[in-house]
Amino acid sequence: MGPSSACALSSLAGRVGRRGGNGGAVVYRGSGIGSAKCLCSGISSDERPKRPLTAYFRFLKENFPGFRQKNPEMSSVDLMRKIAGAWKVLPVSQKHVYVEATKTDWKRYEKQLATYKAQLTPAQAEALREEKRRQQARKRLSKTRKELALLGKPKRPRNAFNVFVAEHFKESEGITPVGKLKQLFDAWQKLSDSQKQPYKQLAEDDKVRYENEMTLWETKMLELGRDDLIRSKKQKPKKKTVETVKQAETAKASSREDKAQLQLEKSEE
């Protein structure tokens, strides 16, 4: 299996692994919890000083364990709402403690950030800027996907291999998602064309489903004034009618005749 296949499997495994969510865990913004390491030109973005928590997130981080202990049956979403409600009614004098702690941390952060930037080479600084641009692009993509999900955009069609994976993933050998996908990839490669045909047919059916659902969805988006979500003409697959097929065949035949005539003229010369 080549590098490109391994990358594709890793990407697909990541999507499979994310289906279960984070198991109700709370990730605090700016705390570095759950952040991914990225090495850029010999320096890690994790070495960059972490932005201080806001006053509210300080309150959340400090009080979440206590709220969880008192409300073990409550879901994480409801628990977060309960804590947000407690923050709203918290007296100003008590909120002031968290606000002042954030201000102090910001002063420390600015000094540490200045020191951190001063030690970077131009190449390292550019690499980290590029990493920041990628992170922002991922955030924008995530936001767009959430919006499209809320608007009910149809899921893209699956290819034959995706259909095969969906059908056999649970029963496949392998401990990790990547291991399972590798085993399925190898099994798929060993299938004959006749064995792959049912999956190819299901994939074709899924394309038809997708196009029909997209047509209805785009009509709804136009009614909502969301022209920006409509596919361009280049993206929409062109339906081959009998007339267009005949025109294509005529053009090919004409081209062959022209080539034959040209060769005849050259031979006569």
Cβ atoms 42, 119 nearer than 8 A: no
Tens-digit pLDDT profile for residues 116-163: 999 999 999 899 899 989 999 999 999 999 999 999 999 999 999 999
pTM of the shown model = 0.50
Check whether domain 29-150 has CATH 3.40.50.11260, yes or no:
no
Given a cut of 80, whether residue 259 has pLDDT beyond it is no
What architecture is domain 154-237? Answer: Orthogonal Bundle (1.10)
Q: How far lies 253's CA from each of 211, 247, 260, in Å? A: 32, 10, 11
State the residue for tokens 């969906």. 166
Given a cut of 90, whether residue 21 has pLDDT beyond it is no
Domain locations in the chain?
A: 29-150, 154-237
Percent of the chain at pLDDT exceeding 90: 56
Percent of the chain at pLDDT exceeding 70: 69
The residue with greater pLDDT, 78 or 269, is 78
**CB neighbour class for 52 (10 Å; exposed up to 12, middle 13-18, buried from 19):** buried
User: What pLDDT does 80 receive?
Assistant: 93
Given a cut of 50, whether residue 40 has pLDDT beyond it is no
Given a cut of 60, whether residue 214 has pLDDT beyond it is yes
Q: Please give the backbone phi and psi of residue 39, each rounded to the nearest 5 degrees, phi first.
A: -90, 125
Distant-in-sequence, close-in-space partners of 164: CB < 8 Å, separation ≥ 6:
184, 188, 196, 199
User: What pLDDT does 234 receive?
Assistant: 53
Given a cut of 80, whether residue 13 has pLDDT beyond it is no
State the residue for tokens 């407690």. 86
User: What pLDDT does 146 receive?
Assistant: 93
Going by C-alpha positions, the residue among 81, 61, 58 that lies closest to residue 71 is 81
Tens-digit pLDDT profile for residues 163-192: 999 998 888 877 788 888 888 999 999 999
Given a cut of 60, whether residue 29 has pLDDT beyond it is no
Q: What would the two tokens of residue 267 be?
A: 């031979």
| Average pLDDT of the chain, as a whole number | 79
Strand partners, 43: 40
Does this chain's domain 29-150 share its CATH topology with 154-237? yes
* 233 band by pLDDT with thresholds 50, 70 and 90: low
